Amino acid sequence: MKSVPQISLEEAVALVKDGDILLQGGFGMTGNPVHLMHALAETGTKNLTFIGNNVGEVGIGGGKLLRNGQIRKMIGSFFTSNPEAVKAAQEGMVEYELLPQGTLAEAIRAGGAGIGGFFTPTSAGTELARGRETKVIQGKEQVFVEGIRGNVAFVRAWKADTAGNLTYRMTEQNFNRAMATAADLVIAEVEEIVPVGEIAPEHVHTPGSYVDYLVEAKLTLEDLGSSASVASSRKADETRMNMARRALNELKKGDVVNLGIGIPTLVADLITPEDGIVMHTENGMLGVGPSPKDGGGAMDYPVNAGKIPVTALPGSSYFDSADSFAMIRGRHVDIAVMGGLEVDEQANLANWAVPGQPLLGVGGAMDLASGAKTLIITMTHTNKDGSSKVVPTCSLPLTALKAVDMIITDLAVFRFIDGQLTLIELMPGATLEEVRAKTTAKFIEKLQ
């Protein structure tokens, strides 16, 4: 059995050269090789192309490299989790490329598997498809994406043996597993290194053949950033809770369900284990339970896609981001409940960007909108200026084409029935006249 060299943080980061493409595992600060990143921030290495889901948090992880001006270009799916990354992009201090989260994960997996690229329906018809080759495959427009490889990958595992076999803890697989396959040089930062044989073969997530060097480094609460702990509770007004309750009525026992941020998150607070609904989170978990009651954070619990610590229900499972989005694109998620900025008469969705703002944070929205079997949008019926969000044609950047099945607003419930926007229900306190006055889209009425 081979023996993988164990080196210091300083020795590890000395292997990164000016101009390298650096892959960095982690989802937010969960499973993030933060010690390697901070050690790299102490060097003069510069002109890096940084590839990761997001560029750490302010002053933490990749955020340190960004502050130092060591990053020339960043490629990821959700830069908006770090306001300094947004500012750097807006001011032209760094180049950037935004990819849907599932596309990013699959591109890294393809690069690691020696696959030149792939076609995906995710982002078809949107701003992110501009300039890319498209084809109609099996009746669907699909977008070509090249595989991604790096010069160096920094990954974080919970445990390694001396042969380089890695095992990850809870939702810390995320981007780490794919990235460990997709670089010329792979350096694994781990909590503990044990003798070969102490990790059972069936518990190895990344085989040692992928790993070149090991660095042992212990996590602290400070390393976890915003996931270090969870707030005790959140309050929502009755209008928003009414929308959440109505969405819950669409979920049935055994459904695999993904909830977006905003109003959809409130649905999670209403679900009980007895409901039998299987919650999916795109960073790699099925069977998401409620927030921990003891206020514990990501040191003790898995996290969801909002980077919030959660509990695991009996029968839960963990996997990596590439597998998670394979579930989504493969239509193994029954229902996605998402927020919206606009939905139009053609069932098109816009929910991730507004004109005049840099396109810096799409996350998993495009994958979920086009991949879930059923898409429910929850949103207020109008904007703050009173303009309708249910419109003839979306004016905002599109998330997905012809994807929406149901709209739940504070005033009304619509379904797309035989391709026609159809009003089926009024929400508490709303009148038909009010819905007509505040909806610019054409719809038919089949009130129940």
State pLDDT tens for residues 234-260: 567 899 999 999 999 999 999 999 999
pLDDT > 80? residue 375:
yes
What's the confidence (pLDDT) of residue 231?
A: 60
Report whether 423 contacts 435 (CB < 8 A). Answer: yes
What's the confidence (pLDDT) of residue 261?
A: 84
- The yes-or-no answer on residue 282 being catalytic is yes
293/193 same-domain check: no
Rounded Cα distance, 134 and 119, in Å:
8
The stretch 348-362 carries a mean pLDDT of 83
pLDDT > 90? residue 359:
no
pLDDT > 90? residue 280:
yes
pLDDT > 60? residue 58:
yes
Rounded Cα distance, 165 and 196, in Å:
8
pLDDT tens sequence across 61-118: 999 999 999 999 999 999 988 999 999 998 999 999 999 999 999 999 999 999 999 9
The stretch 268-283 carries a mean pLDDT of 90
The angle formed by the CA atoms of residues 73, 97 and 53, to the nearest 5 degrees, is: 85
426/277 same-domain check: yes
Does 229 reside within a domain?
Answer: no
The stretch 27-37 carries a mean pLDDT of 94
Rounded Cα distance, 181 and 166, in Å:
12
201/261 same-domain check: no
Report whether 82 contacts 66 (CB < 8 A). Answer: yes
CATH code for position 245 = 3.40.1080.10
What's the confidence (pLDDT) of residue 81?
A: 86
101/141 same-domain check: yes
> Which domain, by its residues, includes 143?
9-217
The stretch 345-367 carries a mean pLDDT of 87
State the amino acid at position 291 in one-letter form. Answer: S
Does 151 reside within a domain?
Answer: yes
pLDDT > 70? residue 233:
no
Going by pLDDT thresholds of 50, 70 and 90, the confidence category of residue 295 is confident
Domain stop point among 217, 250, 271: 217
Who's near 378: CB < 8 A, 6+ residues apart? 243, 244, 247, 262, 263, 264, 337, 338, 339, 340, 408, 409
110/254 same-domain check: no
Which residue among the candidates 106, 172, 189, 282 is catalytic per the annotation?
A: 282
pLDDT > 80? residue 444:
yes
288/206 same-domain check: no
Average pLDDT, the chain: 94
What's the confidence (pLDDT) of residue 234?
A: 57
Does 225 reside within a domain?
Answer: no
Burial 97-109 (b: 16+ CB within 10 A, else e): ebbbbbbbbbbbb
Domain stop point among 217, 250, 278: 217
pTM: 0.94
192/105 same-domain check: yes
Does 76 reside within a domain?
Answer: yes
Going by pLDDT thresholds of 50, 70 and 90, the confidence category of residue 230 is low
Percentage of residues in the chain having pLDDT higher than 90: 84
Count of the separate structural domains present in the chain: 2
Residues 282/96/361/345 CA torsion (nearest 10 deg)? -100
Does 232 reside within a domain?
Answer: no
254/179 same-domain check: no
Report whether 78 contacts 146 (CB < 8 A). Answer: no
Rounded Cα distance, 84 and 55, in Å:
9
What's the confidence (pLDDT) of residue 170?
A: 96
State the amino acid at position 204 in one-letter form. Answer: V
Rounded Cα distance, 146 and 108, in Å:
9
Please name which of 19, 25, 204, 186 lies closest in space to residue 105, comparing C-alpha atoms: 25
Does 108 reside within a domain?
Answer: yes
Strands 256-259 and 213-216: unpaired
What's the confidence (pLDDT) of residue 371?
A: 95
pLDDT > 60? residue 385:
yes
104/248 same-domain check: no
Rounded Cα distance, 131 and 181, in Å:
28
Ramachandran angles phi, psi of 186, nearest 5°: -115, 125
Domain stop point among 185, 217, 249: 217
Higher pLDDT pick, 224 / 319: 319
347/199 same-domain check: no
Does 233 reside within a domain?
Answer: no
198/312 same-domain check: no
The stretch 122-131 carries a mean pLDDT of 94
Rounded Cα distance, 75 and 380, in Å:
32
pLDDT > 90? residue 1:
no
What's the confidence (pLDDT) of residue 446?
A: 93
What's the confidence (pLDDT) of residue 297?
A: 86
pLDDT > 90? residue 232:
no
State the amino acid at position 208 in one-letter form. Answer: G
Rounded Cα distance, 440 and 424, in Å:
17
Rounded Cα distance, 102 and 115, in Å:
16
State the amino acid at position 383 in one-letter form. Answer: N
Lowest-pLDDT choice from 51-60, 230-239, 318-327: 230-239
Rounded Cα distance, 427 and 367, in Å:
29
Please name which of 362, 343, 400 lies closest in space to residue 122, comparing C-alpha atoms: 400
Does 230 reside within a domain?
Answer: no
The stretch 302-322 carries a mean pLDDT of 92
Q: How far apart are the first and last CA of the chain?
A: 68
289/171 same-domain check: no
